[in-house]
């Protein structure tokens, strides 16, 4: 049944994207014939800094599988953006979640012609110290494909270890920990995530390396990001098919085999932050209620990490 839903979703998104692409090009042609584009034609992405570069994936076990693909990202200053992108935290919410008091930047792939595909968006949360701002925390916003589930969590950008809280691939189980680090945005921007597994070791690494491009080079940012989410989705599905072809074990979504996988992730992450609990044999702690989105206002950098989940979208829910 899920296979039928997947085919239906792909066909529906393809149809709507073709139609909206036609309207986009038609509208652009009419505007160019009548007058140059003005500020009134701007979309939220037009207020962002533009980046482009490469995503690398390197799986070393149980089979070797590596690939890379080009990507384009937008970096928003959420406090200065007149129309922040929909579906993301406000700057005030991000500051509460990360317990910071400075500016908030959002790195994301804007939607294109009605379709959104964002495996990872990052909030860069700054703190004020001595009259200057420095990058204090990052918030990862991870979304899986095709389910559309999402998890939010804060981490130390210098380097942090996070218990895997989301089923991001049907070819990876939930036992790994994510080792994640990110640099402060500038002309160059990088993010690295490695997966440490109790049986496979450090078997997977994903890196994002992008460079800032001139904001004036694309005359229309909608054209700059045209079909970018679609291209990301194509790479995800294509390499999933290649992993299946290489006989990598297909792992069912944990909601069918372990409905408490979210609570288990909270427990494992608490142990990572407090290794002395393992020596004492303690195995649990009060976990955040995944359905209580207000928990983001209680983020305590000295206490257990809060995870905030969004459930799957129709037809996967």
Query: What are the residue ranges spanned by the domains of the chain?
Result: 2-275
Count Cβ atoms within 10 A of the Cβ of residue 106 and give its class: 0-12 exposed, 13-18 middle, 19 or more buried.
Answer: buried
User: What tokens were used for 115?
Assistant: 């379709």
pLDDT at 274: 78
pLDDT at 2: 59
pLDDT tens digits for 83-124? 778 899 999 999 999 999 999 999 999 998 888 989 999 999
R_g over Cα of the chain: 20
Question: Where residue 300 falls among pLDDT bands split at 50, 70, 90?
Answer: very low
The one-character DSSP state at 204 is E
Residues 6+ positions from 180 with CB-CB distance below 8 Å: 140, 155, 159, 160, 161, 162, 191, 192, 193, 194
Mean pLDDT (the chain) is 83
Question: CA–CA separation, 96 vs 297, rounded Å?
Answer: 5
Question: Where residue 275 falls among pLDDT bands split at 50, 70, 90?
Answer: low
Residue 64 has pLDDT above 70, yes or no: yes
pLDDT at 292: 41
Residues 6+ positions from 79 with CB-CB distance below 8 Å: 91, 103, 104
As a whole number, mean pLDDT of residues 300-309 equals 76
Residue 75 has pLDDT above 80, yes or no: yes
pTM of the model: 0.83
Residue 21 has pLDDT above 90, yes or no: no
Q: What share of the chain is helix, strand, coil (3-state, %, to 5)?
A: 30, 30, 40
Which of 231, 225, 227, 296 minimizes the C-alpha distance to 75?
Answer: 225
As a whole number, mean pLDDT of residues 310-317 equals 78
Is the distance from CB of 195 to CB of 214 less than 8 angstroms? no
């Amino acid at each position: 049944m899920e296979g039928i839903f997947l085919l239906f979703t792909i066909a529906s998104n393809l149809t709507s994207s073709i139609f909206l692409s036609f309207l986009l090009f038609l509208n652009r042609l009419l505007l160019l014939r009548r007058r140059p584009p003005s500020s009134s034609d701007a979309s939220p992405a037009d207020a962002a800094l533009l980046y482009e570069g490469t995503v690398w994936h390197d799986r070393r076990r149980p089979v070797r599988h590596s690939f890379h693909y080009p990507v384009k990202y937008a970096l928003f200053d959420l406090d200065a953006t007149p129309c922040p992108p929909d579906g993301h935290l406000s700057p005030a919410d991000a500051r509460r979640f990360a317990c910071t008091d400075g500016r908030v930047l959002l790195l994301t792939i804007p939607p294109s012609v009605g379709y959104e595909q964002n495996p990872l968006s990052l909030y860069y949360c700054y703190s004020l110290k001595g009259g200057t701002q420095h990058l204090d925390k990052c918030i990862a916003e991870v979304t899986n494909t095709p389910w559309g589930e999402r998890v939010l969590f804060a981490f130390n950008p210098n380097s942090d270890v996070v218990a895997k809280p989301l089923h991001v691939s049907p070819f990876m189980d939930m036992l790994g920990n994510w080792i994640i680090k990110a640099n402060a945005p500038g002309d160059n921007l990088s993010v690295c995530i490695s997966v440490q597994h109790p049986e496979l070791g450090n078997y997977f690494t994903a890196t994002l390396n992008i460079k800032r491009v001139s904001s004036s080079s694309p005359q229309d940012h909608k054209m700059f990001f045209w079909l970018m989410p679609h291209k990301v989705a194509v790479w995800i599905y294509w390499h999933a098919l290649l992993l299946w072809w290489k006989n990598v074990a297909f792992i069912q979504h944990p909601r069918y085999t372990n409905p408490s996988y979210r609570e288990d992730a909270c427990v494992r992450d608490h142990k990572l932050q407090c290794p002395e609990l393992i020596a004492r044999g303690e195995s649990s702690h009060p976990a955040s209620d995944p359905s209580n989105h207000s928990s983001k206002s209680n983020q305590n950098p000295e206490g257990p990490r809060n995870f905030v989940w969004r459930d799957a979208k129709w037809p996967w829910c």
